[in-house]
Each structure stands twice: as structure tokens, then as C-alpha cells.
């Protein structure tokens, strides 16, 4: 191992010099229940009994701490055990897996659904299975890393990257690849995780349908809406609902963000799901989520798809609006919109680091994105609002930010990141 260790140490050194090391992870070691008008607080290893407000989690609806979701997981673990036992085609399918897939299909008004160990695995197990020797893949330039890696693994005949949300360039890409390809796959995030903006799925679907006849096997739209489902739209159906789009051809999402559990899934036509069960290696050769996780996710969907869920969504929108309005009032730059990802745009790496450290001293956990992780001038702090947060929580965060706001801050504006 000595030679390998030396090579790996050199590569880590290069990452450090480039500013790309993520460094030590914060270790959460306890949860303090909501009290006195504040939401839950978290204990961090090495910080003693200091409570932290968590504003860097994807738990948009607070489902991971809901008693009924926890109870569903505990009851099912007692009934079926802690793990699935094997991959599903051998012996790993349990009734909670099947029940969850049926519930997901119904929730999204689709014919069928398939669950994966994560949404990352779902994308990696989906896109390469859709790519033939005559397939073109066309992707938004800000798509998630899982989409980028899935396209690389798929090695399509043609690959095009269009400027973020640029429908004119997407149209030109479709027309270009129609000259040589039998199938086109347009792939995009529903909500872009670093910014909280969303793809115009209504326009993308209209464009795809207008080009179907240009391809012998059609123009297919694949959307990863992991940050949208459960966080955006009047009933939490995500970017489809928010943009009033026709149902996209293939929808991918996660159980590990707004639903608060673990795993990913794909919904679509029955023939597609049957094919993935036979051919997707990330499904065939990988254990599923546990039966208990499946039951917990099923319960979280039931909660969202109820009057209580509508109340959670309303509260989430209210807290998001309160926080973004506060950023503007303090003179910070942010992106408008209803999604609970609320970027505070600093446009400066040193200021980003200083703000993150200040907030941590004040008991607030956030994530800063600096150059070269993002382009120079696009540095930001990504705040993530949750239905767990109360008005007092939002005001506490804004109070801490006010201490660092520049006295002569420029008027806040809608960012063009």
C-alpha cells in the first residue's frame, strides 16, 4: 500500500491547493425537540451541549422527525427485520417495497414505479439503459453531478450541453442531432439544487413533442426532480406541477429529501419499469432500501398527500418568503422564487467563508460554495428552509446575518447566476 498511499496523498494535496477539499464532516450526535417557539436543534460532536439550527439539510417538510413516520419505520423493522436480505430478484422484495412503488405511481399519476437505493443510483441506472448507438443526449449545463456521470457512462452517439434554461439553444441542439440520431433524450433537473430555480418543463415538453417525428424513436424527456418533489407546487408534485407542464416522459426523484427517509425512484410507463427491472445494474445487483425505510417513505407520502401536508407546504412557503424578504431587507443578493433553497450570493470566497464561520459561532449550520467549486464571482451560501423552521428560527438567522451585513450594502437584486 505504500506506493498507492503516496499517490493518493499527492492527489489530496492537489485538491487542497486547488481549494477543492471538503474537509472534515460535522458529526451530528443528538436532536433537541422543538420548544419555546423554536424548531428542533442539533448537537454537534466537539461542540458540547451547544444547540445548532440546521439550515443546510434537504429535509424540506421535516418528515424525518415526524412521529408517525418514525413509528411506521419502527413497526416495520420489528415485523420484517433491519435489512432486506438480498437484491430483489433473489430474495429481497418485501411487501413494503411493492406497496411503496404502487403509492409512488399513484402519487405521480403514472402507470408504474421502481425504487432504487438512492436517486443518484436511479439516474445512473436509468440513462445508460436508454442510450443506444443512435441516441443523442441533450443536457442543461447546470445539471447535477449524477446526470453528468450517467451521460459519461452511457457514451451516447451525440452529446449536447445547452446553456442553463436556454430553450432556443435546446431547440437548435435537437435539430442538429436529428440529422444523425434515431432517438433524442433531453435530460434536466426539475429544480437546480445550488440555486433553487426550476426548469421550464412546460416549454421543454412542448418542444420535445414538436420534434418527436424528427426521430424514429422519439424525443424523450427525463427529469430528475429530487429537490422539487415535496417542496414545490401547490400539492408538492414538484416542478411539473409548478410549471403546469404535461407529465414528463420519465420522472426521477428521491425519498431522501422532502420525504425525509432514504432511496430514489423512477416513475413512467409500465414497459419502461419492466425493462429497468431486467436491465438496470443499479437495481438488479444492488440491495433495495430496507422494508422499514419503504414503510416510512410510504407514510411520508401519505402525510404530504393530505390536508396536513398542504398545511406543511403553506408553512414552508411562508418561512421561505420570510427568509428571502429578510435577505433583501438586509441588502444581501438572492434569487427570487418559492423553492426553499435560498442562496445568499456573496460573489466573494473570503466573504463566504467569513459568513459561514460567523453563523457557526452563532449556532447556525449552513453550506458555503466558493471558487473553484463555483465560478469566480458566483460564490454563495446555500440556505435551505424547512417546515421544521419557525418564524423565530428565521428571525434568529436573519439577526445573525445582520451582524455581518455591510453598512453600505448595495440594493439587493435578482441574481443572474
> Going by C-beta distance under 8 Å and a sequence separation of 6 or more, which residues neighbour residue 201?
188, 190, 221, 223, 239, 240, 243, 245, 248
Q: CA dist 209 to 129, 199, 395, 402, Å?
A: 22, 17, 46, 49
Do 169 and 95 lie in one domain? The reply is yes
Do 348 and 298 lie in one domain? The reply is no
Per-residue pLDDT at 23 = 82
Which CATH number fits the domain that encloses residue 386? Answer: 3.90.1150.10
What's the whole-number average pLDDT of the chain?
Answer: 95
Per-residue pLDDT at 376 = 86
Do 161 and 41 lie in one domain? The reply is no
- For residue 240, being part of any structural domain is answered with yes
Given 97, 144, 227, 324, which residue is catalytic? 227
Do 267 and 390 lie in one domain? The reply is no
- For residue 7, being part of any structural domain is answered with no
Distance CA 377, CA 360 (A): 23
Instruction: Determine the average pLDDT of the residues in 343-372.
Output: 93
Given 139, 193, 226, 243, which residue is catalytic? 193
- Residue environment code for 210-229, b if the CB has 16+ CB neighbours within 10 A, otherwise e: ebeeebeebbbbbbbbbbbb
Do 250 and 377 lie in one domain? The reply is no
Instruction: Determine the average pLDDT of the residues in 103-107.
Output: 98
pLDDT per residue as tens digits for the range 215-262 = 999 999 999 999 999 999 999 999 999 999 999 999 999 999 999 999
Of all residues in the chain, the percent with pLDDT exceeding 70 is 97
- For residue 134, being part of any structural domain is answered with yes
- For residue 19, being part of any structural domain is answered with no
For the chain, first and last CA: distance in Å? 44
Which CATH number fits the domain that encloses residue 203? Answer: 3.40.640.10
Q: Which one, of 63, 39, 64, 61, lies nearest residue 52 by Cα?
A: 39
- For residue 9, being part of any structural domain is answered with no
**pLDDT exceeds cutoff 70 at 406:** no
- Give yes or no: 257 in active site: yes
**pLDDT exceeds cutoff 70 at 407:** no
Q: Show which of 305, 320, 336 is a domain's final residue.
A: 305
Instruction: Strands of 50-165 (E only): list them.
Output: 53-54, 112-116, 135-140, 158-162
Given 97, 108, 144, 257, which residue is catalytic? 257
Do 120 and 50 lie in one domain? The reply is no
Per-residue pLDDT at 413 = 46
**pLDDT exceeds cutoff 70 at 277:** yes
pLDDT per residue as tens digits for the range 71-97 = 999 999 999 999 999 999 998 899 999
Q: Show which of 305, 337, 368 is a domain's final residue.
A: 305
Do 242 and 380 lie in one domain? The reply is no
Instruction: Determine the average pLDDT of the residues in 334-360.
Output: 94
Q: Which one, of 198, 197, 222, 302, lies nearest residue 260 by Cα?
A: 302
Instruction: Determine the average pLDDT of the residues in 91-113.
Output: 96
- Give yes or no: 299 in active site: no
Instruction: Determine the average pLDDT of the residues in 160-186.
Output: 98
**pLDDT exceeds cutoff 50 at 41:** yes
Per-residue pLDDT at 21 = 84
- CB of 199 within 8 A of CB of 189? yes
Instruction: Determine the average pLDDT of the residues in 23-36.
Output: 94
Instruction: Determine the average pLDDT of the residues in 7-11.
Output: 97
Per-residue pLDDT at 370 = 87
**pLDDT exceeds cutoff 50 at 289:** yes
- Give yes or no: 227 in active site: yes
Per-residue pLDDT at 187 = 98
Do 245 and 361 lie in one domain? The reply is no
Q: Show which of 246, 277, 305 is a domain's final residue.
A: 305
- CB of 338 within 8 A of CB of 320? yes
Per-residue pLDDT at 255 = 98
Q: Which one, of 357, 47, 60, lies nearest residue 227 by Cα?
A: 60
Domain that holds residue 157: 67-305
- For the chain, the domain total comes to 2
- For residue 230, being part of any structural domain is answered with yes
Do 147 and 176 lie in one domain? The reply is yes
pTM: 0.94
Query: Which range among 249-258, 328-337, 364-373 shows the weakest confidence by mean pLDDT?
Result: 364-373
pLDDT per residue as tens digits for the range 196-219 = 999 999 999 999 999 999 999 999
Amino acid at each position: 500500500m505504500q506506493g498507492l498511499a503516496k499517490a493518493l496523498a499527492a492527489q489530496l494535496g492537489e485538491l487542497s491547493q486547488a481549494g477543492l477539499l471538503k474537509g472534515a464532516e460535522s458529526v451530528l450526535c443528538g436532536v433537541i425537540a422543538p420548544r419555546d417557539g423554536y424548531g428542533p436543534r442539533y448537537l454537534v460532536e466537539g461542540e458540547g451541549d451547544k444547540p445548532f439550527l440546521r439550515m443546510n439539510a434537504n429535509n424540506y417538510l421535516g418528515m424525518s422527525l415526524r412521529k408517525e413516520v418514525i413509528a411506521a419505520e419502527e413497526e416495520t423493522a420489528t415485523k420484517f427485520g433491519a435489512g432486506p436480505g438480498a437484491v430483489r430478484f433473489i430474495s429481497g422484495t418485501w411487501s413494503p417495497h411493492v406497496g411503496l412503488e404502487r403509492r409512488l405511481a399513484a402519487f405521480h399519476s403514472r402507470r408504474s414505479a421502481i425504487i432504487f437505493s438512492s436517486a443518484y443510483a436511479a439516474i445512473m441506472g436509468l440513462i445508460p439503459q436508454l442510450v443506444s448507438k443512435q441516441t443523442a443526449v441533450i443536457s442543461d449545463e447546470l445539471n447535477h453531478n449524477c446526470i453528468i456521470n450517467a451521460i459519461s457512462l452511457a457514451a451516447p452517439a451525440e452529446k449536447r450541453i445547452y446553456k442553463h434554461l436556454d430553450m432556443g439553444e435546446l431547440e437548435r441542439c435537437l435539430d442538429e442531432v436529428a440529422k444523425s440520431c434515431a432517438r433524442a433524450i433531453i435530460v434536466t433537473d426539475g429544480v437546480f439544487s445550488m440555486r433553487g430555480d426550476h426548469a421550464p418543463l412546460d416549454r421543454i415538453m412542448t418542444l420535445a413533442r414538436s420534434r418527436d417525428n424528427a426521430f424514429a424513436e422519439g424525443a424523450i424527456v427525463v427529469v430528475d426532480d429530487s429537490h422539487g418533489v415535496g417542496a414545490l407546487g401547490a400539492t408538492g408534485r414538484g416542478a411539473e406541477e409548478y410549471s403546469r407542464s404535461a407529465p414528463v416522459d420519465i420522472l426521477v426523484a428521491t425519498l431522501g429529501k422532502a420525504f425525509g427517509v432514504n432511496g430514489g425512484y423512477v416513475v413512467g410507463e409500465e414497459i419502461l419499469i419492466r425493462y429497468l427491472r431486467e436491465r438496470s445494474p443499479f437495481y438488479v445487483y444492488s440491495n433495495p432500501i430496507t422494508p422499514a425505510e419503504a414503510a416510512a417513505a410510504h407514510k411520508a407520502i401519505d402525510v404530504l398527500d393530505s390536508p396536513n401536508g398542504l398545511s406543511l407546504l403553506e408553512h414552508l412557503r411562508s418561512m421561505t418568503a420570510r427568509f428571502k424578504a429578510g435577505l433583501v431587507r438586509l441588502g444581501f443578493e438572492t434569487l427570487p422564487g418559492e423553492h426553499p433553497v435560498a442562496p445568499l450570493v456573496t460573489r466573494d470566497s473570503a466573504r463566504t467563508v467569513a459568513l459561514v464561520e460567523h453563523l457557526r459561532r452563532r449556532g447556525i449550520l449552513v453550506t458555503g460554495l466558493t471558487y473553484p467549486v463555483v465560478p469566480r464571482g458566483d460564490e454563495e451560501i446555500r440556505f435551505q428552509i424547512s417546515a421544521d423552521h419557525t418564524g423565530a428560527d428565521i428571525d434568529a438567522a436573519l439577526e445573525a446575518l445582520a451582524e455581518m451585513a455591510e453598512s453600505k450594502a448595495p440594493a439587493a437584486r435578482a441574481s443572474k447566476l
